[in-house]
Amino acid sequence: MKHEITLIKGDGIGPEVADAVLRILDCAGLEVDWDVQIAGETAVQQGLHPLPEATLDSIRRTKVALKGPVTTPIGKGFTSVNVGLRKALNLYANLRPARSLEGIESRYQDVDLVVVRENTESLYSGLEHEVVPGVITSLKVITEVASTRVARFAFEYAVAHGRKRVTAVHKANIMKLSDGLFLSCFQKVAEEYPDIQADDRIIDALCMHLVKDPKQFDVLLLENLYGDIVSDLTAGLVGGLGIVAGANIGIGLSVFEAVHGSAPDIAGQNVANPTALLQSAVLMLRHIGENEMAGRVESAMIDAIAKRDRTTRDIGGDGSTSAFADAVCERLG
């Protein structure tokens, strides 16, 4: 079956890791027409809005996008393209699996966690206002609709993937109304899934328990800002942002992306690790029904990493971006 998928290569190291992943998907036999679009600095340099309407229209039409890293200016310039995409397309659930891979040194082995993050509201939305000079307020908005739908997404994901437990993460002991609403929505949805264990943790306690023994958790459900922080923490447990996948899921629309930064300091040097975007591409393949292909690509990637066959420097190898793609392609035949 031939697919049409929107492709946003991004900037910095984005084009390099994207090209490596595209070559691997081609070696795996994916039949696809890529609708190439731009965003972020690449769009601004062409006199366009950082998130062009053409890019959004493409994703609305194809329903699926693969996206490389896009730089977000710090403290100035345009707002985050990643946040803009999620809001514009109502991609309400962020999915971040974190799994140990043989061949990648980390503090823990056999970690297999999934972070589900609400994507559309809470403090991460950036709703800020200067009351008077020197006084800023930042709004934390929590709604029953958003909290309920992301809780249901987490439980449905657990059922579909054989997971046994969903843990809601909050600070309802202090923010009794906002986090209290998030928690109560979770508890109501949990009643619909009696075969899935449901519990909750206060955010600070969760972080402590994660670094003591991450294997005690399964699926973690968090509000937007908490999820942003904890998903990076769980990535650190298995080797870093350079190896974990990311997906933003909405109603009929999905964007699969590398969750690391654009690393402009190493752009153009052919040394960036394409594993994160490749892992996201594997999620994408499963999403579009190419399960057999996803399994082959994942197996080839895991074997290359386990044997440190042309892996990049950040995970203990001495290979390049393109050389690692060669190693995976050779295993795909």
Task: State the catalytic residues.
Answer: 124, 171, 204, 228
Are 190 and 198 spatial neighbours (Cβ–Cβ below 8 Å)?
Answer: yes
Cα-Cα-Cα-Cα dihedral of 206, 211, 213, 218, to 10°?
50
Neighbours of 137 (CB within 10 A): 9
Measured CA distances, 307 to 300, 316, 324 (Å): 11, 11, 12
For 183-203, b where at least 16 C-beta lie within 10 A, e where not — what string?
A: bebbeebbeebeebebebbeb
Q: Is 133 exposed, middle or buried (0-12, 13-18, 19+ CB in 10 A)?
A: exposed
